[in-house]
Amino acid sequence: MGRYWFKDGAPLRGGIASVCLAAFLFFGYDQGVLGGILQMEDFKNQFNHPNDTETGAIVSAYCLGALGGCILNFYTGDRLGRRKSMWLAMSFVFVGATLQASAFTVAHLVVGRVITGLGTGIDSSTVPTYQSELCRAEKRGRKVSWEVMFIGVGIVLSYWMDFGFSYLSGSIAWRFPIAFQLVFAIIVTALIFGLPESPRWLFKRGRRAEAIEVLCAVFDLPESDPYIQGEIRAIENALDTESNVKSNRALFKKDRLQTRRRVMLAYFALLMNQLVGPNLIVYYIPTILTQNVGLDARTAQIVGGCVQIMFVIGCFAPALALDRMGRRPTMLWGCLGLGICMVCAAGLLQPGHTTTSSAAIAFFFLWMLIFGGTINVVPWVYGPEILPLEARARGVSISVAAHWMWNFFVVMISPILVNRLRWGTYLLFGGLSFVFVGVVWKWYPETSNYTLEEIDSIFLKDEGVEGARRRRMSATSAAHAHGYEGGEKDGAAFSSTDEEGKGEKVHVERRSS
């Protein structure tokens, strides 16, 4: 299609995936880049050896800015659409990264961190929604999982870039790694020009013809194809059903769609993502290695970087197979495994006992591997897919705000907990992980392999998933009855999706009742 930079079908879907991956690569890089810079001598000299309060302000400013970006996106996301929201996010990043890389005072640096955080907040609450609305149900989990894996890739990249530049002298050792995030912002900004808007957002704004054109281009099918007709009917039916969720207040009302419950499920998923304790390990692994195991600072930094790599390795499993693994089982065994690792580490990590403390490090490696493959990924997939279309942009903004708010909370209290509770800190986070097993078991329904519109029906007590699928199949049958041809491959894919979902139907409807 001439208006896009990529050919219809797989090339266009590849372009959409590429911009989402680049956006989350930036997200991870930006989140991790300051960690290795804070201890550089030139950095400390430039900012007059900032005290603990100033260092805390520098670090936390980013999280608070990201929280502000989520709040801003709550009000602007549905008005601007997915593409313009991503442009707005990258505009903040250009300004913020430039201010950080050119900073000469702590205040200058903090302002840059806040502005960059605003962009990250908008970016992280828009990209998963954009990808979810432009892919098939049976591939949605895997595609969003790849994005989350690229957060880990970005963190690892920033960690090792900081490590490499730490051998240089002068301000370039810390200014270049900070400025490098502009590369990702340029890539995202450029690619968005050649990609379509979300068809679901276009339908919502009354731009029906343009939305259908996007659907046809993304899936490389004619408008008459049964799959496209089924998508159109499902989206329009969903908009009719969700017509009472237009106001912000309606997000928190107990309605037929259970919108309030769905917003809270999305919010609590990313709360769990932070309260299992990832930042406790990410920030304090070097300290543990030097103080408890007896490694020198340089070796501790190298081993700490290897721990970050385990995070990326863990992400491969959901990136390749989350739609077969399921959302609920992955969260359940993930929280259980994380809890066991934390409890074992708490028992082994004893001051003055380097042998047992060394064994505890093995559990931190295992913890990061499990986290990367489970509770790190699923909440980012779950939020955009579980929310109704009318509430999706605002609901995802609320849920991602939970990520940044609790990220800030854990980072701020971790030094206090480590100093006061010592090994009990890991026992605390292990206990929370076990609590989350019960939370997921009782309240979280399975959503794998359902279309975004069918997920509405998991929560519609007067219809259920089976009713939604009957409506969708009737739309497809109607298209066939009018003599439409083509799309057999896609019809087979849809039938396969139905077959995959059958094993979950009874379970889902029981849990959502």
Whether 474 is covered by a domain: the verdict is yes
CA–CA distance, 360 with 366 (Å, rounded to integer): 10
Q: How many CB atoms neighbour CB 312 within 10 A? A: 22
Is residue 147 one of the residues assigned to a domain? yes
Q: Do residues 44 and 131 both lie within one domain?
A: yes
Query: Which token pair is 27?
Result: 């997200």
Domain range spanning residue 477?
202-241+450-512
Q: Are residues 135 and 211 in the same domain?
A: no
- In this predicted structure, what is the pLDDT of residue 505? 38
Contacts of 17 by beta carbon, 8 Å cutoff, 6+ apart: 131, 143, 146
Q: What is the reported pLDDT for 504?
A: 38
Residue 2 lies in a domain: yes
Across the chain, which has 513 residues, the per-10-residue mean pLDDT values are 76 92 92 82 89 79 92 91 94 96 93 95 92 85 87 89 88 94 94 91 91 92 90 85 65 80 94 91 72 74 85 90 91 97 88 75 92 93 85 88 89 77 88 97 91 82 51 51 42 35 37 35
- What pLDDT score was predicted for residue 496? 33
- Please provide the distance, in angstroms rounded to a whole number, between the alpha carbons at the two ends of the chain: 45
Evaluate whether residue 330 is within a structural domain: no
Rounded Cα distance between 54 and 110, Å, is: 9
**Which of 185-191's residues contact partners 24+ apart within 8 Å by CB, and which partners?**
185/26, 185/90, 185/93, 185/94, 185/97, 185/119, 187/19, 187/22, 188/19, 188/22, 188/23, 188/26, 188/86, 188/90, 189/87, 189/90, 191/5, 191/15, 191/18, 191/19, 191/22
Comparing C-alpha atoms, which of 171, 35, 169 is closest to residue 101? 171
Cα atoms in the Cβ-side hemisphere of radius 13 Å centred on 44: 9
List CB contacts of 23: < 8 A, sequence separation 6 or more. Answer: 86, 89, 123, 127, 147, 184, 188
Same domain, 54 and 164: yes
**Residue showing tokens 């007067």:** 462
Other Cβ atoms less than 10 A from the Cβ of 126: the count is 31
The pLDDT value given to residue 351: 66
Q: What integer pLDDT is reported at residue 429 of this predicted model? A: 95
SS3 label, residue 168: coil
- Indicate whether 152 and 217 sit together in one domain: no
Please provide the DSSP assignment of 286-333 as one string. HHHIIIII---HHHHHHHHHHHHHHHHHHHHHHHHHHHHH-HHHHHHH
| Residue 422 counted as domain residue | no
Assess whether 188 and 58 both reside in one domain: yes
Both 157 and 125 in one domain: the answer is yes
**Which parts of 102-244 fold into alpha helices (H)?**
106-124, 127-132, 137-165, 172-179, 181-193, 199-204, 208-219, 226-241
For the domain that residue 102 is a member of, what is the CATH number?
1.20.1250.20
The residues, ordered by sequence, that sit 6+ positions from 504 with a Cβ below 8 Å of its Cβ are 326, 446, 448, 449
- Structurally, how many domains does the chain consist of? 2
Pair 489, 507 in one domain: yes
Tokens of 361: 């490090």
Domain boundary (142, 162, 196) is at: 196
180 and 214 fall within a common domain:
no
* Tokens encoding 82: 């997915």
**156, 312 contact by CB (below 8 A):** yes
